[in-house]
Structure 1
């Protein structure tokens, strides 16, 4: 097939239809009529001699050929976008840019202190805003450039997005010093486990203890709660809260326990004197990745902030 025989605008329609799966949404995005999109699809079918998209009750579903074409078409459009929108080199030392990053509140606890310290040294004019990935349509916000990056366990961000692994999260059980679980764990504490880290408690001890649960649907932590439910873990939930911000204070003043990431537990042990043990439930680790939209893969500012985050937090 000769390129001169193909209208490259058709590939733009293909790319948007593959992601949106609805003719009406593509027409709205591109500022054209629905018949114009349908006409473009008809021409694409003729070019590739394939239906490409089949109309169903769930939208326009791609054929195997369309699935095979999706990645190279996206890469080609991204390359063209970079050519026609090339910017001057990004200078972090003088930049006044504002970056918006989607993360959870527990992500803020882990990432922001170190990130802001690094920015103070290397890029004093750059500002950061955070947004909850559950409070917005994250996919659309990142495609439009409203949100620059996302950090976390976000399995829905696949097509159109690049990702890079930062680290894996292990989950532990946390409680105040002197808690009955602390006394139970002390009996098996390893000599090399440190003052705030005991070895473990039993599943029976965990199920019997009163718990505080952080309700965090759509996050890696929410998936941990779903995993324990599927494993038929009997949790004695006394308190539900929508965020982690007050969790350490709550545990410090009560006999409640909580399931948290080991990184959060380490920080809580340091600042609140809390203790934590290996979780009695065999919870799978959660991988934390850095995500960005393909449209901004070669954008110099995005490249710089991504590189900084990876240098600071990758393990």
Structure 2
């Protein structure tokens, strides 16, 4: 074991996090055979298969899970030592930063973030990760992403957050809806067909209120993302519930037909959209700068 090649640690970590040889090769910008070769060497050294292929991808063994914890801590310590020793210069840095956003965040926040970063750090690389709210805390703890913007507070001892904007839910529908004018009644809400977004972005507050009030909806269409709604709603009787800021944005930039926003006929509490980062970011000048720039880019957001 004294001859263990430390260069294999990034490969092992990436394979554990992605569960895919192809994704690991893409992340590390190497060939798939090189990943397979390195994995073969590690299997011999640890006398364990480490990863077993099944229909869900490359599943880690118990030994691999144990190694991952130690290797991840070691890699983070090395990264932190390098970051502390190296002065971060945003004007010349080509560093990669990862930001987890929902599809709504990509539509609403990303243009502002890019415009700001293009002025302050024109050479950095921003990588947007599709938000999975159930994985967000783990991603921050493991250093998989540098920051997360979501509507749920990630309650963990190692995570800080900053409110970006106060939001509330509204109903979005075609401007020429044949049965609904300038207001929405509970009967109309219950009887008209709905689009339900099966999102992993954490927007579940309205669903919880509906369940509490025992309000049933006629779900006509289920979608994985909010961003396609401007192309779906015009010319239909469909209704959907979503945050007011993105609804207003969809109305300002219609895809194929005009839309309108109406208040819901029941009360849903307002909520904050928050920027999250791990506390260790405060020890890295680059990570600390990135979070500060995100706050600056989004400081004027209003619902």
TM-score, length of structure 2 as denominator length: 0.68
CA distance in 2, matches of 1:85, 1:310: 21
Aligned position for 2:285: 300
Instruction: Call closer, same or farther: CA 1:89–1:170 in 2, change over 3 Å.
Output: same
Structure 2, unaligned runs of 5 or more: 1-63, 72-78
Is the partner of 2:234 in helix, strand or coil? helix
Q: CA deviation at 1:84?
A: 9.0
SS in 1 for 2:161: strand
Give the unaligned 5+ runs of structure 1.
Answer: 1-23, 32-80, 186-199
- Which SS does the other structure have where 2:275 is aligned? strand
> In structure 1, what is the Cα distance between the partners aligned to 2:190 and 2:171?
12
Cα offset, 1:242, TM superposition? 0.8
Shift of the alpha carbon at 1:266? Answer: 1.0
Please, what TM-score do these two structures have when normalized by structure 1?
A: 0.66
| Equivalent residues of 2:205, 2:268 under 8 A apart | no
- Whether the 8 Å contact between 2:102 and 2:130 is mirrored in structure 1 is yes
Aligned equivalent of 1:309: 294
C-alpha offsets along residues 253-301 of structure 1, whole Å, 9 cap, x if unaligned? 3221111111111111111131101111211112111111112223111
Match in the other structure for 2:160: 162
Q: How many residues align?
A: 230
> What is residue 202 of structure 1 aligned with on the other side?
185
Q: Distance in 1 between matches of 2:277 and 2:285?
A: 13
Following superposition of structure 1 onto structure 2, how do residues 1-315 of structure 1 map, counting pairs within 5 Å? Answer: 29-30=69-70, 86-134=84-132, 137-180=135-178, 182-183=180-181, 185=182, 200-217=183-200, 219-272=201-254, 273-314=258-299
SS at match of 2:140: helix
Distance in 2 separating the partners of 1:286 and 1:181? 30
Asked if 1 retains the 8 angstrom alpha-carbon contact of 2:172 and 2:242, the reply is: yes
CA distance in 1 between counterparts of 2:143 and 2:246 reads: 30
Q: CA deviation at 1:26?
A: 7.7
Q: Secondary structure at the match of 2:115?
A: helix
Deviation, 1:182, is 4.3
Shift in Å, 1:214: 0.6
Judge which range, 130-139 or 154-163, deviates more. 130-139
| Secondary structure in structure 1 of the residue aligned to 2:283 | coil
**RMSD of equivalent CA atoms:** 2.8
* 1:84-142 Cα distance to aligned partner (Å, 9 max, x none): 96243322111101111112111111111111122222211112112233288333332
Assess if the C-alpha contact under 8 Å between 1:203 and 1:280 holds in 2.
yes
Task: Tell me by how many angstroms 1:28 deviates.
Answer: 6.2
CA–CA separation in structure 1 for the residues paired with 2:82 and 2:221 = 54
SS in 1 for 2:166: strand
Look up the SS of the partner of 2:163 in the other structure: strand
**Which of 1 and 2 has greater Rg?**
1
